[in-house]
Amino acid sequence: METINLYVKDYTLTPGPRYIRQDVFSGEDFYIKKLNPCFYRCVVEDKRLEIYLDGTAGYPSSFLDEAFGELVYDFSRSEVEKRVVFVTQIFKRHKDRIINETYPQWEKRRNDSEVIFNTPSLKGTRIHHIDNNGNLVERQI
Amino acid sequence: MMDISNLLALLDIFVVIFFGFFFTHWYSVRDARTRAIKDYYISALNDIRKKLDDFFQNILEGKSSSKKIAYWYPTIQTSIINFDNGLRLALPIKKMLLDEIIDTILSDITKNEYINENYSKQSLTLDINTRDFIISKKKIIDEFLNEYLIQVNNISAYCIVHTVRQSIELDTEYYEYVKHCKRPRIMACWKSFTNNKGNIILWLVAIGCLISFCILFTRTNNGSFANGKPKVEEVVTKSLTKGDNIKDVKQLIDNDTLSNEIEWLKPSTY
């Protein structure tokens, strides 16, 4: 399977908080601007997404939880686990925490059809997701 | 022929020599080496504790910010991981990795809603709930560090087999990558042997003494612990070997005359 590389350091060297309303370079912003389009491309082109975590100053846990949690919420855990590969030497514990904590928590929220919170200013923004019937569609925040 | 009391006296001498050497030399040398390592790592642990204390103190006093909290740990993470790895190489620590607990605590802190809400602020003044939350996290780390310190101080060194194997591994790397020897493993084993030859010789002497004692004891007393009086099985076996009729032997046992008759069966009489 071919790969698409996504370097977090190209987005920012200083990842921020959870939501856009809290500060710049948030997990929510990273998801909407980078992760969601990249992953959508991977699904359409049947590719793997390699995410490089190293090179930043550090990660607030909420940044990673929001970004990768929303990814699972929109595309399902199985699809994310099938395609996403984390590459890191420094943030191995963050990587483990995403896989072992974020993935199951957000998969449960997806299965329970729980409504997730987004920054109000994003209302109307369109993002890609896989619906309950397994179809790749767009949804509006 | 040496009798049992001589043998026991001889064994006593060897045992005293062996244990005397064992306790005075071996343990004192091993403890001195372990003590030096422990002192080094306890000092390193104190440095880490000081950094953590400063970190938490700054947060509690409002001198820190959400950004500083988020980016603080990666700057010292490598030294903490190296500390953990080095310590576990030297001592058999049975505790969660220090890096793991700090990372988990900091992850909980950076997930905190108040800290996220105030992410853009240059200095973070905590509300009561967040302050209590931070204090509770500091308490967890303090308790962990206390237990860690006690364990480092009290723990015994790895057993001799592990230590020798470890030094062979390290020497093998030295002979392979520094000296470029063709047979680094053999060189490492030989070095380990020459370094420990005193201990090895002592062990061999001790084992030799034990084997010699067993052989001498068996020969002197013909395998019996009854001080000259053979057991019933021995009487029967030897009697049959001598050519006695089976009925005579049976009668000997039935008539309960074994204890009297046994005298003629003593090892010295045949």
The mean pLDDT of chain B is: 82
Residue B196: what pLDDT? Answer: 77
- CB contact under 8 Å between A61 and B111, yes or no, is yes
More confident residue, B73 or B262: B73
Task: Compare CB distances from B71 to A19, A57, A90 and report the shortest one's residue.
Answer: A57
Instruction: Give the amino acid at A95.
Output: K
Residues 112-141 of A with CB under 8 A from B: none
Residue B262 sits at the vertex; the CA angle it makes with B256 and B266, to the nearest 5 degrees, is 165
Indicate yes or no: CB of A58 within 8 angstroms of CB of B100.
Answer: no
Q: Is residue A21 within a helix (H) or strand (E), and if so which, with residue range?
A: none
Per-residue pLDDT, B12: 83
Burial of B56 (0-12, 13-18, 19+ CB in 10 A): buried
With 0.90 as the threshold, say if the pTM is over it. no
Residue B70, chain A, CB below 8 Å: the answer is: yes
- The predicted-structure confidence for B58-117, as pLDDT tens digits, reads as follows 999 999 999 999 999 988 998 999 999 999 988 998 889 999 999 999 999 999 999 999
Report residues of chain A scoring pLDDT below 50.
none
Q: What is the pLDDT of residues B57-73, one digit of tens each?
A: 999 999 999 999 999 99
B152 vs B224, higher pLDDT: B152
Maximum distance among all Cα pairs of chain A, rounded to whole angstroms: 40
Contacts of A19 (CB under 8 A, 6+ apart): A26, A27, A28, A66, A117, A118, A119, B116
CA angle A107–A110–A111, rounded 5-degree value = 90
Shortest CA distance from A18: residue in chain B: B116
Asked if B64 is an interface residue toward chain A (Cβ–Cβ < 8 A), one would say no
Which chain B residues contact residue A17 at CB under 8 A? 66, 116-117, 119
Contacts of A61 in chain B (CB under 8 A): 106-108, 110-111
Min Cα–Cα distance to chain A from B198, Å: 45
In angstroms, the CA B139 to CA B137 distance is 5
Tokens 């299965």: give the residue: A111
**Per-residue model confidence as pLDDT tens digits over B3-39:** 777 877 887 888 888 778 777 777 777 778 788 899 9
**CB distance from A65 to chain B under 8 Å?**
yes
Q: Residue A14 and residue B67: Cβ atoms within 8 Å?
A: yes
Nearest to B119 among A16, A93, A97 (CB): A16
For an interface test with A, the pick among B104, B110, B113, B114 (most A C-beta atoms closer than 10 Å) comes out as B110
